[in-house]
Amino acid sequence: MTIRRTIIVGSCAGIAAIGVAAVTAVATAAPAVTNHTIKLVATQTSSHQFSSSSASAAETDRHNGKVIGYDILSEHFTKTSGLILGAFTTNGGVIYFRVPFTNTKTLHGKVTGGSGKFGGVHGTIAATSLNNAGTKTAVTIVYHH
C-alpha cells in the first residue's frame, strides 16, 4: 500500500507541476500586436522658412473631407539630406513621428511615440505629395501599442 500511495502522490504532484507550468506559459505569452491605421489628407495652412536649412509648417488633417485633427512639422535640411519631425493631434491624443527627407514622391518614416490614448505607440508613416507645391499630402499612419 505504501508503494501505491507513493505512486499516487507522485502522480498528483506531477500533474500539479504540469498545470502550474501551463498556467505560467499562458500568463507570460505576449499578446498579439494589433495594428491601427489612420488615413488622412494633410493640407498646409501656414509655413515659415527660418533659414535655408530650417522651416516649419502647420496643417489641417481630413478624412473623407471631415477634419479629424491637425499636425505641425519641423523641417531641417542639409545639402545632402533632411529630416521632418512632426506631431499629429486628434481626438484623444498626439502621435509623434520622424521622416527622413528624400527626393521621392512618397516619404517613409517612423512613428516614435505619443501621448494620451497614443502613449507608447510605435509604427510607420508614409506621406505622398498630392500637388507640385507640396501643400497637400496623403498620409497613412500605421501604429501599435
Tens-digit pLDDT profile for residues 99-124: 999 888 899 999 999 999 999 999 99
Q: What is the percent of the chain with per-residue pLDDT over 90, rounded to a whole number?
A: 70
Determine the Cα–Cα distance for residues 121 and 41; give it in Å rounded to an integer: 21
Which residues are CB-neighbours of 118 under 8 A, at least 6 positions away? 92, 93, 94, 95, 143
pLDDT of residue 31: 73
Closest CA to 143 of 31, 35, 41: 35
CB 144 within 8 A of CB 120: no
Q: Which residues pair with 38 in a beta bridge?
A: 141
